[in-house]
Amino acid sequence: MSDYTINTKCVQGGYTPGNGEPRQIPIVQSTTFKYDTSSDMGKLFDLEASGYFYTRLQNPTNDYVAAKIAELEGGTAAMLTSSGQAANFFAMFNICEAGDHIVSSASIYGGTFNLMAVTMSKMGIETTFVSPDCTEEELNAAFRENTKLVFGETIANPALTVLDIEKFAKAAHAHNVPLIVDNTFPTPVNCRPIEWGADIVTHSTTKYMDGHGTAVGGAIVDSGKFDWMANAEKFPGLTTPDESYHGIVYAEKFGKEGAFITKCTSQLMRDLGSIQSPQNAFYLNLGLESLHVRMPRHVENGLAVARFLEKHPKVVKVNYPGLESDPYYEIAKKYMPNGGCGVVSFELEGGRKAAEEFMGKLKLAAIETHVADARTCCLNPATSTHRQMTDEQLEAAGIPAGLVRISCGLEDKNDLIADLEQAL
Ligand SMILES: *Cc1c(COP(=O)(O)O)cnc(C)c1O
């Protein structure tokens, strides 16, 4: 598939049926797989042969869909997880352990912020949060001896800041650690972080990739570019023997291209078990087949709504990287020349109360803890997704209390604008 454009990969990537085989990706609704001899199966347990034995580790349906996502992002290997949360946790925990340290953009999804600031911190992994707009000096100053990775979101949910991927990649690589980028909002149709230096890309496939509010899921893609062996002492999990698999060394046995995803599957998925169901992977693939058709419409609607809101007297501020007045306009143009996504956020005069009143009057845009759906939806982060954050943390993450996030769906933009107008 590598010779085709991303549009064709969305439709046909990952799965090429043989003679007489199903045209659509089959749902392999089986927990387990049958073998003729114990020694055949033993080779799979030893990672001596590749194949399927138990769906908690791998399933053909998931692998077809993961292979498509790897092609879309330009990676060498990928895996699906049960959610975007699991994808980000697995991607980080595949590299880090107790006593390690992470440098992360502070402008990230609330769930990921909690994962690092609360749960991973309890596990002994500390995170230093930096502004996505920090200088190179400030970014470099956040690193420690035990820093193992850098994390950021291409377009942050919900602050809509844009990550300078090259700046973050440069700092990560200067400290011999990989950059993980959560590329959920633009999707590979609008941005491919690996082309700008990211080493690992994660997704909440729940959002645009699924695109229809159907199935919660996640994905991890490895660029295959990070040289674990060159920094062996930093990444013992990948570069020293794994006794639970008879002493194999992932980076030696599977190389740069395969080590990360193989370890993540055979260790973390085995032990933590956050697999995506094959049924959900099938739904995800239906979404992927039209991703390249849907994303331009989401962008068109997002831009039209942002332009309308910007001119409205009751709106204090609009965040949308596609607006010329947005501080991220230039950087967004660099990384996402065809636009980013359909999510717009804006601050209403009158704070929390005005936001609640306004949202109650909307007819097309439903109040939901969701984004990136075919149907327009909206949310006030301060009273929902981000309610665990203090006012200072909210301010630092660029999410004032009166902020409304609207995810523009695939409806007619004029109908959406009319709905906003009557509610305002
Ligand atoms: C939603 C989201 C997540 C979490 O994904 P789930 O599928 O809800 O677990 C992670 N990162 C970003 C950017 C998101 O928007």
Report the separation in Å between the CA atom of 107 and the middle of ligand 1, taken as the mean of its atom positions. Answer: 13
Residue 252's pLDDT band (cuts 50, 70, 90): very high
| CATH number of the 6-286 domain | 3.40.640.10
292-423: CATH superfamily: Aspartate Aminotransferase, domain 1 (3.90.1150.10)
Q: How far is the CA of 109 from the centre of ligand 1 (A)?
A: 7
By alpha-carbon position, which residue is closest to atom 15 of ligand 1?
157
pLDDT tens across 147-197, in order? Answer: 999 999 999 988 899 999 999 999 999 999 999 999 999 999 999 999 999
Q: Which atom of ligand 1 is nearest to the CA of 85?
A: 9
Give the residue-averaged pLDDT of 213-225: 98
* pLDDT of 2 higher than 80: no
pTM: 0.96
Q: Measure the CA dihedral 310/314/316/320, to 10°.
A: -30
The percentage of the chain sitting over the pLDDT mark of 90, rounded to a whole number, equals 86
Structural domain boundaries in the chain: 6-286, 292-423
Say yes or no: CB of residue 213 within 6 Å of ligand 1. Answer: no
For residue range 367-387, what is the model confidence (pLDDT) as tens digits?
A: 988 899 999 999 988 888 778
- Phi and psi at residue 155, in whole multiples of 5°? -120, 120
Residue 225: Cβ-neighbour burial (10 angstroms; 0-12, 13-18, 19+)? middle
Spatial separation of the C-alpha atoms in residues 164 and 314, rounded to whole Å? 31
Distance (Å) of CA 200 to CA 78, 148, 280, 296, 321: 10, 13, 23, 25, 24
How many C-alpha atoms does 210 have within 13 Å on its Cβ side? Answer: 29
> How many Å lie between the centroid of ligand 1 and the Cα of residue 233?
32
